[in-house]
């Protein structure tokens, strides 16, 4: 419980500091753009990302073995969230010919590497879950240990 409170306090302090920086260092005309960006994030999450993840979960539950389901769902949530946040750079929005430093790397390649790492992580998670389940079942411990 203390850890959650500490993380909540740190997160709130970071958010307040970021708000202070935005309000003190940005032109007030940019505040509307920030509000639109935050609003679009909420709308995209609630009406695009969440339904797609739920649909994928329904499909994956039918085709994946039970040991692979938790890791696949976590992988989908992570990859979906990161992809949504990466849309501006993946789409090249804001590219300016007079400032090549804005988009100075191959963001698509970075996203592909991240997707592969998430897939490997999901695979390792599935393997560990299956191994733990088989060891528990093989040792005659058909129930989960209480925490």
* Domain match, 59 and 71 both: no
* Domain match, 114 and 72 both: yes
* Domain match, 57 and 80 both: no
Residue of 132, 130, 125, 129 whose CA lies nearest to 72: 125
* Domain match, 53 and 101 both: no
* Domain match, 103 and 91 both: yes
* Domain match, 77 and 132 both: yes
- Has residue 7 been placed in a domain? no
What was the pLDDT predicted at 141? 47
DSSP 97-135: TT-TTTT-S-HHHHHHHHHHHHHHHHHHHHHHHHHHHHH
* Domain match, 79 and 49 both: no
- Has residue 84 been placed in a domain? yes
* Domain match, 73 and 132 both: yes
Each residue's pLDDT expressed in tens, for the chain with a length of 147 residues: 899 999 999 999 999 999 999 889 888 888 888 888 889 889 988 998 789 878 988 888 889 888 888 888 889 888 888 888 888 888 888 788 888 777 788 999 999 999 999 999 999 989 988 888 888 775 544 445 444
* Domain match, 54 and 89 both: no
Core vs surface per residue 14-50: b (16+ CB within 10 A) or e: eeeeeeeeeeeeeeeeeeeeeeeeeeeeeeeeeeebe
Spatial separation of the C-alpha atoms in residues 72 and 142, rounded to whole Å:
24
Tally of domains in the chain: 2
- Domain assignment of residue 39, given as a range: 12-63
- Has residue 3 been placed in a domain? no
């Amino acid at each position: 419980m203390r850890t959650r409170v500490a993380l909540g306090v740190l997160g709130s302090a970071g958010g307040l500091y970021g708000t202070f920086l935005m309000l003190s260092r940005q032109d007030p005309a940019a505040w509307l753009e920030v509000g639109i960006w935050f609003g679009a994030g909420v709308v995209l999450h609630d009406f695009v990302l969440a339904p797609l993840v739920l649909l994928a979960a329904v499909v994956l539950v039918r085709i994946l073995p039970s040991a692979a389901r938790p890791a696949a769902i976590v992988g989908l949530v992570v990859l979906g969230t990161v992809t949504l946040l990466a849309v501006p750079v993946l789409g090249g929005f804001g590219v300016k010919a007079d400032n090549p430093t804005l988009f100075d790397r191959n963001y698509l390649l970075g996203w592909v590497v991240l997707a592969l790492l998430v897939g490997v992580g999901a695979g390792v998670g599935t393997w560990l879950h299956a191994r733990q389940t088989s060891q528990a079942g093989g040792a005659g411990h058909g129930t989960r240990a209480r925490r």
